[in-house]
Amino acid sequence: QKEVEQNSGPLSVPEGAIASLNCTYSDRGSQSFFWYRQYSGKSPELIMFIYSNGDKEDGRFTAQLNKASQYVSLLIRDSQPSDSATYLCAVATVGYSTLTFGKGTMLLVSP
Amino acid sequence: NAGVTQTPKFQVLKTGQSMTLQCAQDMNHNSMYWYRQDPGMGLRLIYYSASEGTTDKGEVPNGYNVSRLNKREFSLRLESAAPSQTSVYFCASSEGLGFHNYGYTFGSGTRLTVV
């Protein structure tokens, strides 16, 4: 049973701070990792994906992957109230046709 | 640029009624998926179609059927709705999950209430 674990939160940060969202996964065969953002009442939208160990940056977002520790994280710099949402971690495994999702972490950014 | 289109957006059913949720994508994706999302349960896979002509069960298939009508369309049918099927349903598509892939694109969802 492939599992993806996330702290449900809420994670509360002040505007302008760095928000750090974490995800662990159980299957060592996992090779692709995704972060989705979901606003209340809306569908998930892809923010970033990462395949290789290390960091990947896109604007204010940085995804970090450590396959040895089976850990992936998302950093949001200069957090804005508009970043308040639930962030879903998803994992793809070689040989499987589906993504496994974590239950998500709610992020609240206060002005 | 529609992406993934789901219909209807909202639906109320009485217990025992049937309905079909429609999903269509215009991105020429090979794979399509149906998920349900419930508070505290996250996204749970109902059925998926890795390619045209194939369908497979996911984590929670009981009470549902699917049809991959063609490469664009993937429908989800509830034959006899139950209150436990009250949920938000998302359709998604992807190019296919090879070694390097780009994840899913989701539709806007269908909010279904069974009374």
Q: 3-class secondary structure for A18-35?
A: CEEEEEEECCCCEEEEEE
The Cβ of residue B107 has, within 10 Å, a number of other Cβ atoms equal to: 26
- Coil, strand, or helix at residue B9? coil
* Beta carbons of A22 and A5 less than 8 angstroms apart: no
Contact B99 A49 (CB under 8 A): no
Confidence of residue B61 (pLDDT cuts 50, 70, 90): very high
Contact B42 A45 (CB under 8 A): no
* Joined tokens for residue B113: 């209430």
Question: What is the pLDDT, as a whole number, of residue A59?
Answer: 96
* Beta carbons of B58 and B42 less than 8 angstroms apart: no
Q: Is the pLDDT of residue B100 over 60?
A: no
Average pLDDT score, chain B: 93
Cα–Cα nearest to B46, from B55, B57, B38: B57
Tens digit of each residue's pLDDT (9 = 90 or more) over B70-90: 999 999 999 999 999 999 999
* Contact list, A51 vs chain B (CB under 8 Å): 100
* Beta carbons of A53 and A70 less than 8 angstroms apart: no
Tens digit of each residue's pLDDT (9 = 90 or more) over A51-84: 889 999 999 999 999 999 999 999 999 999 999 9
Which residues 6+ apart lie within 8 Å of A29 measured at CB? A93, A94, A95
Q: Is the pLDDT of residue B99 over 60?
A: no
Tens digit of each residue's pLDDT (9 = 90 or more) over B38-60: 988 889 999 999 889 999 999 99
Q: Is the pLDDT of residue B97 over 80?
A: no
The verdict on B64 touching A (C-beta cutoff 8 Å) is no
* Joined tokens for residue B75: 């429908």
The Cβ of residue A89 has, within 10 Å, a number of other Cβ atoms equal to: 27
Q: Is the pLDDT of residue B1 over 90?
A: no
* Contact list, B48 vs chain A (CB under 8 Å): 97-98
